[in-house]
Amino acid sequence: MIEDLLKIAEIQGLSGREAVRSRAIHWLIDLNDEGEPLQLSPTTGFSKGSRSTLSESRGKRFPTPRLYHMQVIDGAIKSVCTNQHNWLPDFLIGPAAEIFPRGANGKQSVRDNKRRETWKVVFEAASDPSLSGHPGLVALVKFLKSRPQFEAISLPVDDSVERESILKAIAEGKELLSFRVGGRLLVHDSQLKQWWERRVERMRKAVCDLLPPGEDSYEPGAGSLAEYHPTVFSSIPLCSYDKAPFISFGLGRQTTRLRLETSEKIAAALNWLLNDDSSSLRLGEYSAVFWAVSDGEAHPVDFGSLLNAADPLAVRDFLRGPWSGVERELDTTRFHAALLRKSGKGRFAVSSWHTNTLKVGRANLKAWFKAIEIPNLHSREPAFVTIRDLAECTVRKSRETRPLPTTFHTLFECALFGNPMPHKLLAAVVARQSMELATGTDKKKRNEFESRLTARTALIQAFFALKKGTNMSDDPKLEDSPGYWCGRLLAILDRIHNEAHDNKTNSSPANRSYGAASTTPALIFPQLCKLVRIHLSKVKGKRDSYGNMAEQCLEFGYPQFKPPLEGLADVCAKLRTTGAEFPRTLSLQQQGHFAIGFYYERCLRWPEFNARTQETSDT
């Protein structure tokens, strides 16, 4: 894995000691050439949601000055910005409390020391002969020396509620500010970039002068051995130990024999993969990264966006379209994936590591999407769900309840490596199915329920598909299962009940009796079948758009349709062929069949029935 990350760093030209990094700036302090404040201007960026939808939000990413991850203090090497004692200021960017003497709310004074350090870096740059007379720095220095007050700068927001919310976020340091002088963004200025690069290089040289020389197993030659390591996941050191595993060979505080250049390149490559939506996937506490290696080159593969977004068009193109390159290349191209887990103690661990050919990875992913492909409740296009949706449908829907980390781990390995799904996931989703049927008539709650119903059914179908190697919707043995036909029967009884009550009821058979019907059919279905005669009599007078009687259609279906719509009588007849009576109990797997049958019956597109009065005409 380390060797591949080093290849990625080499291919992408990443050294790990770059003097810039991508960071979101939320507000720009606009100054004129004399350093007088004009206004506070918001920046706007776009973010992609879980459904591949773009949403506009405040804060746009810019390449901003980046601190080196180590420093020398009193002749000793320290890390940077991991605690209050080794904190260093950013350059040209920061929260309001580090720019304005009294912060954003006129009360903040606890960061006076940080504000002084932030200003000191600006004054240091302004005093450098290479930047003498730089118009942007001159204006910025004048602005800072005027001891600016945040409230004196115009904030272009009229709505009082929104204004209060923005001021609170800025005061709490959640939104970062930078400077624009005469319409020119200072973090884009080439002279300031070069000055900062020289400063970072001086910091690094001072550190290297104190590090012992040595070799490692990854990079050729000798170099300085790393003492502190750069961070990944924004703030977690690449390597971290609370106890040295060995103290010998003159290593001193070095706890692992890893050269500084090696550590920096590994962290840079891993961060590059984590920041690319096509090569990474966030799954709760886990982050997955994957890439391909071919002919000595490593590059990301666009599996992450498919698994994370599950856009039906993208998935359809992936399933139907040709893969780039020839089939022979797929046979030899190595495919790598790692699942990383962050802990709450500033550590991360490699939970699993897989290598295979890209051809196998692509085949597994195709099988995964075919396994979770089910009819859509609202359109004729198939429905695909993300791994996150599948994991969340196994637990109660609430902000406090989160899926187990192992659930994400399991689903990821099922998708990319063809692993069978464990019984415990089937048991969890079947249990949730029984508990969440009562949805009421509230549109928002119903939509949430149907979304989770889709995810649960897809997960149940995937359990059988990955176990048997075939899609459950095409599995001929499914129609031999009494659980499948019991599920379809309950959905039809539910449809008839809702039609009889003009879809204004909260006590339909599915809402009341799903749990009992899916576990002990013999106890509940005889009573439901007795009640259905009453409900059928209530739909008299309703006709569909073809003029057919609702009572007749709901009982006997539409045999003339292609494929035919099966009514109550047809489903009961199919159920009878699987056994002479309703099953007394259904096993866990049969309950899964029940859920699939229930969902598939709900997806059938029935004509609408409407009450019609007797038409008369004058002759």
Nearest alpha-carbon partner for 597 in 464, 427, 415: 464
Report whether pLDDT(248) > 60: no
Angle, in degrees to the nearest 10, between helices 190-208 and 112-127: 110
Range among 98-107, 319-328, 389-398 with highest mean pLDDT value: 389-398
Amino acid identity at 450: E
Is the full-model pTM beyond 0.85?
no
- Please give the Cα distance from 181 to 178 (Å, whole number): 10
Summary mean pLDDT of the chain: 83
- Write out the H or E segment, with its range, that includes residue 121: helix 112-127
Per-residue pLDDT tens over the stretch 291-347: 887 766 666 677 877 887 777 777 777 777 654 444 445 566 788 888 888 876 678
More confident residue, 191 or 362: 191
pLDDT recorded at residue 618: 39
Per-residue pLDDT tens over the stretch 33-76: 999 999 999 998 655 544 445 557 788 889 999 999 999 988 88
User: Stretch 3-18: mean pLDDT, rounded?
Assistant: 87
> CA triplet 413, 317, 329: central angle to 5 degrees?
65
549 neighbors 563 (Cβ within 8 angstroms): no
C-alpha dihedral sign at 520, 526, 532, 534: negative
User: Stretch 452-479: mean pLDDT, rounded?
Assistant: 75
- How many Cβ atoms sit within 10 Å of the Cβ of residue 146? 12
pLDDT recorded at residue 276: 80
Angle, in degrees to the nearest 10, between helices 423-435 and 443-468: 160
pLDDT recorded at residue 460: 92
Phi, psi of 526 (to 5 degrees): -55, -40
Per-residue pLDDT tens over the stretch 202-219: 999 999 999 888 888 888
Helix ranges restricted to H, 310-380: 312-320, 327-332, 358-372
pLDDT band at 616 (very low <50, low <70, confident <90, very high): very low
Per-residue pLDDT tens over the stretch 558-593: 888 888 888 999 888 888 776 657 889 999 989 999
Whether the bond into 563 is cis, omega within 30 of 0 = yes
Which range (55-59, 266-270, 275-279, 327-331) has the least confidence? 327-331
Report whether pLDDT(452) > 70: yes
The alpha carbon torsion through 215, 216, 219, 222 (nearest 10 deg) reads 0
pLDDT recorded at residue 463: 92
pLDDT recorded at residue 118: 92
Per-residue pLDDT tens over the stretch 416-431: 888 888 999 999 999 8
Which range (26-30, 56-60, 537-541) has the least confidence? 56-60
More confident residue, 312 or 501: 501
Nearest alpha-carbon partner for 554 in 487, 500, 485: 500
Per-residue pLDDT tens over the stretch 480-494: 888 999 999 999 999
Take residue 345 and report the two structure tokens written for it: 């103690």
Which range (141-155, 176-190, 498-512) has the least confidence? 498-512
pLDDT recorded at residue 295: 67
- Where are the strands (E) in 259-404, listed by range? 280-283, 286-294, 297-300, 334-342, 348-357
- Write out the H or E segment, with its range, that includes residue 481: none
Which range (20-29, 86-95, 221-230, 527-536) has the least confidence? 221-230
User: Stretch 272-298: mean pLDDT, rounded?
Assistant: 80
